[in-house]
Amino acid sequence: IELKPTDFQDIKKLGEGAAGTVWKVRHIPTDLIMAKKTVTVDPDPKIQRQILRELSFLRTCGSPHIVAFYGAFLDDGDTTLAICMEYCEGGSLEDIYKRARDMQGLIGETVLARIAESVCRGLIYLHSQHVIHRDIKPSNILMTRDGQIKICDFGVSGELINSLAQTFTGSQYYMAPERIKGGAYSVRSDIWSLGLTIIEVAQNRPALPPPGQPNLSVFELLDIIVHQPMPTLGPDRSEACRDFIEKCLIKDPEERPGPETMLEHKFIKTWSDPTNSLGSWLKEVWGWP
């Protein structure tokens, strides 16, 4: 089915990022609830057609660890692109850890390990489709109502990446050292970002900038990522958990394990249990009936 701008009804605004705005919407003809993200793109119709062509690859994406894609179209005006995807009712990991912080709770290692496992599986799937994510961070990892963890906002369209680069430059805080140095970018760079993501979710606040150095310039921050030791978790977390993060944050991408190797790590092996859903945990987090 073809998605058209006039077939949607806004329900509520879900959030706003550097590159766009996300709305919970109803697709009237099918009565499906979707998340609709709008971003500003180049006005050149040739570039826009190229972006739409590249995004159509998403239709063939099918993995339980990837947020499903419903379609994309040019929304009102000539520079607004709308991307429609699966609505994830549990929100992003950023929403979830902020909620935990407000309730003065810490997210346990069962959940952290399940996040690590799902992200690794999602990255393996993307890699099998020759896609590198490029923007792993808590707000790009979402939970469905029944507690499945899925990744979204990955770099499938080179032309869209170019188009957005003019208005926004990724999230420097999660950028791997090799990327900062202009080296080759691989799935292992996404593993680096996963390490920082796990720290952030575990401690209910971003891993970087390091505590006690809040006002770093971009240059100082990038210098720390390339040359200084990365933050770790405290002794209140297990040895396995801390070792997993340490492996993610190995500076040399040649030495840093890829997602397949990480799936074999004790931290994931200990907690992996496909029969145990995070649905009831999520229900408690959000106070759902």
Which two structure tokens, joined as six digits, stand for 112?
Answer: 């952290």
Which residue lies nearer to Mg ion by CB, 51 or 268? 51
DSSP letters spanning 228-271: SPPP---TTS-HHHHHHHHHHT-SSTTTS--HHHHHTSHHHHHH
Which residue lies nearer to ligand ADP by CB, 17 or 258? 17
Rounded Cα–Cα distance for residues 248 and 259 (Å): 10
171 binds Mg ion (CB under 5 A): no
- Residue 87: contacted member of ligand ADP, Mg ion, none (CB under 5 to 8 Å, by partner type): ligand ADP
| Identified binder of ligand ADP from the candidate list 67, 151, 207, 245, rule CB under 6 A | 67
| Identified binder of ligand ADP from the candidate list 14, 58, 131, 248, rule CB under 6 A | 14
Our CA angle for 247, 201, 234, nearest 5°, is: 60
Helix (H) or strand (E) holding 167: none
Please state, as a whole number, how many other Cβ atoms lie within 10 Å of the Cβ of residue 242: 17
- Residue 113: contacted member of Mg ion, ligand ADP, none (CB under 5 to 8 Å, by partner type): none
> Is residue 209 reached through a cis peptide bond, with omega within 30 degrees of 0 on the bond before it?
yes
| Identified binder of ligand ADP from the candidate list 41, 52, 81, 85, rule CB under 6 A | 85
Which two structure tokens, joined as six digits, stand for 96?
Answer: 């979830």
140 binds Mg ion (CB under 5 A): yes
Q: Which stretch binds ligand ADP (CB under 6 A): 48-56, 139-147, 161-169, 203-211?
A: 139-147
Shortest Å distance, C-beta 206 to ligand ADP: 13
Q: Is 42 a catalytic residue?
A: no
- Residue 235 has phi, psi (to 5 degrees) of -70, -5
142 binds ligand ADP (CB under 6 A): yes
Tell me, residue by residue from 87 to 126, as one string, x for binding to ligand ADP by CB under 6 A and - for no binding.
xx--xx-xx-------------------------------
Rounded Cα–Cα distance for residues 288 and 270 (Å): 29
Q: Which stretch binds ligand ADP (CB under 6 A): 58-66, 83-91, 154-162, 198-206?
A: 83-91
